[in-house]
Amino acid sequence: DQQVKQNSPSLSVQEGRISILNCDYTNSMFDYFLWYKKYPAEGPTFLISISSIKDKNEDGRFTVFLNKSAKHLSLHIVPSQPGDSAVYFCAASDLTDKLIFGTGTRLQVFP
Amino acid sequence: KAGVTQTPRYLIKTRGQQVTLSCSPISGHRSVSWYQQTPGQGLQFLFEYFSETQRNKGNFPGRFSGRQFSNSRSEMNVSTLELGDSALYLCASSPGTGYEQYFGPGTRLTVT
What DSSP element (H or E) covers A5?
strand A4-5
Q: Would you say A21 and A109 are in contact if contact means Cβ atoms under 8 Å apart? A: no
Provide the shortest C-alpha distance from residue A18 to chain B (in Å): 25
Query: Strand runs (DSSP E) across B1-112, as ranges?
Result: 5-7, 10-13, 19-24, 31-38, 42-50, 53-57, 64-68, 74-78, 87-94, 102-103, 107-111
pLDDT in tens, B4-22: 999 999 999 999 999 999 9
> Minimal Cα–Cα distance from A110 to chain B, Å?
24
Which residues from chain A sit within 8 angstroms of residue B101, using beta carbons?
Answer: 46, 97, 99
Distances (CA, A) of B9 to A38, B46, B77, B112: 17, 18, 15, 17
Residue B1's pLDDT is 67
pLDDT of B29: 93
Structure confidence by residue, pLDDT tens digits, A32-83 = 999 999 998 789 999 999 999 999 999 999 999 999 999 999 999 999 999 9
Using the beta-carbon criterion (under 8 Å), do A46 and B100 form an inter-chain contact? yes
For chain A, the distance separating the N- and C-terminal CA atoms, rounded to the nearest angstrom, is 38
pLDDT of residue B4: 96
Q: What digits encode the pLDDT tens for the residues B30-82?
A: 999 999 998 877 899 999 999 999 988 999 999 999 999 999 999 999 999 99
Residue of B nearest to A5 (CA): B42
Give the pLDDT of residue B99.
77
